[in-house]
Amino acid sequence: ATLAGVEVVEAEIKRGLDIVGTGDMGIGNTTPSAAIAAALTGESPAKIAGRGTGVDDEGLKRKISTVERALAVNQPNAKDGLDVLTKVGGFEIGGLAGVILGAAANGKPVMVDGFISTAAAMIAVAIAPAARHYLISAHRSKEIGHGIMLDWLNLKPLFDLDLRLGEGTGAALGISMAEAACKVLAEMATF
């Protein structure tokens, strides 16, 4: 999955891509994302796992318990991003991590969307720490653990709009902001 992500972004770079926006679409992928974040940060799953698309109190308890069990059973090595990915991640997160790694390897910035994309960014940075320098956080997700993840990556989000979306909506907003900033720097007249 990670290599497929690299291949996709490299093909797009050949077609002229100059900035990447990450995003995801799925059901249940905040659970492996929380497991990745807990494994890499050392924080408890209760501090990371949130309500996702809006689970009730019982659902949140099950989610936290699932993350705790996944970490206990699989014992991911926090010093090995690929080990964490293979033991508690998912294919979509691996693909996004590959996109990030491929973009960074080609000197292209990556606008990171919400919770799941940030988990993928954590995997990418755990695999290749220099990839962190190509990351821009689009927004702070409403998920409770997202701030912990952003702190681990040393990223400050451009927006804090209480978004629960992960489909790249925040990344699209962030890319627009980045393009506007570049135009101000390159095209705006000065005194």
CB 23 within 8 A of CB 167: yes
Q: How far is CA 2 from the centre of its chain?
A: 14
How many DSSP H helices and E strands does the chain contain?
A: 9, 3
- The C-alpha atoms of residue 66 and residue 45 are separated, in whole angstroms, by 9
Q: How far is CA 22 from the centre of its chain?
A: 8
Give the C-alpha distances (Å, rounded to integers) separating 91 from 3, 94, 96, 97, 158.
11, 5, 9, 10, 27
How many C-alpha atoms does 134 have within 13 Å on its Cβ side?
26
Residue 10: active-site member: no
Read off the tokens for 188. Answer: 């705006």
* Among 58, 167, 179, 187, the one annotated catalytic: 167
Q: What's at 57, amino acid-wise?
A: D
Residues carrying an active site annotation: 167
